[in-house]
Amino acid sequence: MKRTRVVIVGAGFAGYRAARALNRTARRHVEVVLLNPTDYFLYLPLLPQVAAGVLEPRRVSVSLTGTLPHSRLVLGEATRVDLDARTVHYRDPEDRPGELGYDMLILSVGSVNRLLPIPGVAEHAHGFRGLPEALYLRDHVVRQLEMAAHEPDPEERRARATFVVVGAGYTGTEVAAQGAMFADAVMRAERPGEWVKPRWLLLDIADRVLPELDERLGGTADRVLRRRGVDVRMGMSIKEATRDGVLLDDGEFVPSRTLVWCVGVRPDPLVADLGLDTERGRLVVDSHLNVPDHPEVFAAGDAAAVPDLTREGQFTPMTAQHAWRQGKTAARNVAARLGLAERRPYEHHDLGFAVDLGGVQGAANPLGAALSGPLAGAVTRGYHLMSMPGNRVRVGADWLLDAVLTRQTVQLGMVRSGSVPLDTASPELARVFRADHP
Ligand SMILES: Cc1cc2nc3c(=O)[nH]c(=O)nc-3n(C[C@H](O)[C@H](O)[C@H](O)COP(=O)(O)OP(=O)(O)OC[C@H]3O[C@@H](n4cnc5c(N)ncnc54)[C@H](O)[C@@H]3O)c2cc1C
């Protein structure tokens, strides 16, 4: 019997879960093909810990073939979907074109860095959406501090030891909180003749930290950040970014060599090119995650505008919590089309959020109960460990080592600034400057 071919484009939270669910429930009837640029599922919520030297990058990268043995992985990046011909066109890692025919399609390509039209930002800022950017930031922070520690010019020293993060959502907040601890550790290891205190600034046009989350989580994060010496400036953004620093809205110029851009994400540009209805760049789907007029096409995760049945008139937020569960619903509704399951709408009440603030600190509100301090830190780490589809022992081992040893403060310099441009449709890949041969 010929199996129905389901192509899943993007193996992140939604795509990975969809593949796993189809493998479990419909393996005999369905051939699952995963198209993804990398051979791993990236556990994004722990990325700030990679940048801060707590976790090694492979800990947050879960092997696709190792954990989804019944799916076929095709390495590549979708460039176009021909909905009439039911074909996905892609380019493989050696930039060769390829195509995949499908009977059913799940689009789960996630999101990319959001840009704002502020002069200099595209040239001088770096985002925080993929592993290459986390590796770049880790090395860059170490390098800047190594240079600052032994810099005789006090102005230059101060600029190199100043790090500006724009966006106080969970990504920016975690980057600043973890980054401040990491930078202090690097400076201690450098033992400069004259002590240089690394300075972190966290800016947001909102009036508080973590504006999209429970106010109590924002309050906790704000306190922890300030205690660590982070200069938290709310109601503030930047007017311009230059090679030498950033010009703030109020006219102050902050000399710095580092601008981390965490103002949010926008859906992957592949979605816009489909010529279908979108909502703020996300592909419009019905509550069953089906694309209207295309019963064979489903979409889930950050790339999809999914009606939130728990909040009338709204769409589900771009979070891993939703993407993961939407992947399961998409798989179920694909199976339902084959008569193997009952079709179900997507409905999920938020279970709360967990923010890792580094060290033993966290801010969390599981099931609405606001937690702070070490208890929240433990809940946050426990939650991440439970949520990871693999590598748990390795992650736990890194946490243990971090608790008893000093951080490794070397920079390998493998990912350079030009390899991680802010404006990219592929934050998961470092840009390669190709020679004639791959
Ligand atoms: C630093 C950071 C921290 C976060 N922390 C949290 C948190 O604590 N809790 C939470 O709920 N959410 C968190 N999020 C948000 C969460 O990670 C996203 O909402 C979630 O990853 C969305 O899942 P997804 O499947 O839609 O996309 P992703 O998980 O991003 O997966 C998209 C996949 O598609 C692939 N892809 C992209 N383009 C193509 C293409 N053209 N062809 C083929 N494949 C493609 C990508 O390589 C990737 O594998 C965080 C995000 C970031 C960046």
Q: Per the structure block, which two tokens stand in for 139?
A: 């090395």
Rounded Cα distance between 17 and 403, Å, is 32
Residue range 364-379: average pLDDT?
94
Average pLDDT over residues 222-246: 97
Q: Can you give the pLDDT at residue 435?
A: 58
Percent of the chain whose predicted confidence (pLDDT) is above 70:
98
Backbone torsions φ then ψ of 265, nearest 5 degrees: -130, 160
Arithmetic mean of pLDDT over the chain: 95
pLDDT digits (tens, 9 = 90+) for 45-54: 999 999 999 9
Share of the chain above pLDDT 90, in %: 89
Q: What is the mean pLDDT of residues 164-182?
A: 97
Average pLDDT over residues 219-235: 97
pLDDT at 26 over 70: yes
Helix (H, G, I), strand (E, B) or coil at 307: strand
pLDDT of residue 66: 96
Atom of ligand 1 nearest to the CA of 384: 8
Asked if residue 164 has pLDDT above 90, the reply is yes
Gap between the Cα atoms of 38 and 130, Å rounded: 11
- Predicted TM-score (pTM) of the model is 0.96
- CA 260 to ligand 1 centroid distance, Å: 18
Instruction: Provide the pLDDT for residue 434.
Output: 63
| Domains along the sequence of the chain with CATH | 4-37+76-113+266-337 (3.50.50.60), 121-263+353-419 (3.50.50.100)
C-alpha distance across the termini of the chain, in Å: 40
Least confident span in 216-220, 256-260, 364-368: 364-368
Residues with CB under 6 A from ligand 1: 9-15, 35-38, 44-45, 47-48, 77-78, 108-110, 128-129, 170-171, 268, 270, 301-303, 318-321, 323, 428
* Mean predicted confidence (pLDDT) in 258-287: 93
Place of tokens 């907040």: 173
Gap between the Cα atoms of 316 and 322, Å rounded: 7
Res 265 pLDDT > 90: no
